[in-house]
Structure 1
Amino acid sequence: MAIHHVLTVCLGNICRSPMAQGLMAAALPDCEVSSAGLGAMVGHPADPLACELMQERGVSIDEHRARQISLDLCQRADLILVMDTEQRRAVEQRYPFTNGKVFRLCEHNKRDVPDPYQAGRSAFLTSLALIEDGATQWVHRISRVSSQ
């Protein structure tokens, strides 16, 4: 099954999921990658620290605006990547049909990505390192599946 649309999800949709979206969209140009939040700060831009760290990696998320997860977004997504186990439960509970297509971004190493919101640069760097690792793993998987 080819993966054409990936949805990254976190809580506020201003830190973790926009960074994951930016990295994955850059690595998967033939795939639509979007993001949303379970308790989104709707309309807010990505956190300034998230923007700065992504810019250092050559990826701009400056145009990002937070949005709430929705039925439509979940229906369109072939794969939904969340940041922690609780978010996975929340998505599957709210949208039962997503069961089987919701995974943690760092599922491969059984890690949650901690929320760096208002916790400073070191917290952002810690979270981003996990996001980069998880995104890389999923990009490899998606590329393998889509090329078959």
Structure 2
Amino acid sequence: MSSPVPVHRPEPQPPSVLFVCTGNVCRSPFAEHLLRDRLPGNRAASRGIFALEGSAMESQMAGELSARGVDPQGFRARQVSATDLGADLILTMSRRQRAYLLEEFPAAARRIGHMGHVPELARMASENSAAPLKEIISAWTRRAIPAGLDVPDPYGKDAAQAARTAALLTERVEQLLPVLRRGILAP
């Protein structure tokens, strides 16, 4: 009689996150790298809707990332494509970028949110602790996004703007962490 073959079950993992900005050299790579650092094992990526393909992270934002103890080296900008939109959560930096993704990739609509609206996602997740994260994300993406929540683009601006944008993104990523930890997905 043979012994049963042990079943290997993959470890549950945090939901995958795709950050999207315009050129994929400032805001989205900053958020991607920061999330990867703060939530090891996370499947974070970033893309641009008009990516500066192959470019490194913009130097001021790379410096802001380094100041937070995260290595920005090795990053190269990439254009968003349909295959990228399979992420569990897609976060744009502006309402205009979100509108672009919704128009170009309507099948991903219930996973496309706005980085500035993350506090609302965090609130919804904490108030609905029994609901699956996928359902919370879907409900959140249907909510109206108030004006004034866009993450300012520091590209071509001074160091003070890069610092303000980095501080805002750091705050939003920190607010996202408990949501993602709570939403650990079993394969």
The TM-score with structure 1 as length reference comes to 0.93
Q: Which residue matches 1:89? A: 99
* Paired residue type of 1:132: T
Residue 39 (1) aligns with residue 50 (2): yes
Residue 30 (1) aligns with residue 30 (2): no
Give me the whole-angstrom Cα distance separating, in 2, the residues matched to 1:144 and 1:126.
Answer: 28
Identity of aligned residues (%): 31
Q: Which residue matches 2:70? A: 59
Give me the whole-angstrom Cα distance separating, in 2, the residues matched to 1:60 and 1:35.
Answer: 16
Residues 61-76 of structure 1 aligned to structure 2 (within 5 Å)? 61-75=72-86
Give me the whole-angstrom Cα distance separating, in 1, the residues matched to 2:178 and 2:114.
Answer: 15
Per-residue CA deviation, residues 99-145 of structure 1 (Å, 9 max, x unaligned), is: 11111112026521010001010110111111011111111111112
How many residue pairs align between the two structures?
A: 146
**Structure 1: any 5+ residue segments left out of the alignment?**
none
Q: Give the match's secondary structure for 1:91.
A: helix
* Paired residue type of 1:58: G
The answer to whether the 8 Å contact 2:15/2:180 transfers is no
Greater CA drift, 23-32 or 65-74: 23-32
Q: Which residue matches 2:130? A: none
Residue 129 (1) aligns with residue 140 (2): no
Give me the whole-angstrom Cα distance separating, in 1, the residues matched to 2:176 and 2:108.
Answer: 18
Q: What's the CA shift for 1:30?
A: 2.0
Q: What's the CA shift for 1:3?
A: 4.4
Q: Which residue matches 2:108? A: 98
Residue 113 (1) aligns with residue 151 (2): yes
Give me the whole-angstrom Cα distance separating, in 2, the residues matched to 1:105 and 1:62.
Answer: 24
**Structure 2: any 5+ residue segments left out of the alignment?**
1-12, 121-145
Q: Which runs of 4+ in 1 moved over 2 A?
A: none
The TM-score with structure 2 as length reference comes to 0.74
Give me the whole-angstrom Cα distance separating, in 2, the residues matched to 1:87 and 1:113.
Answer: 11
Pairwise CA RMSD of aligned residues?
Answer: 1.6
* Paired residue type of 1:80: I
The answer to whether the 8 Å contact 2:14/2:43 transfers is no
Q: What's the CA shift for 1:147?
A: 7.4
* Paired residue type of 2:68: R
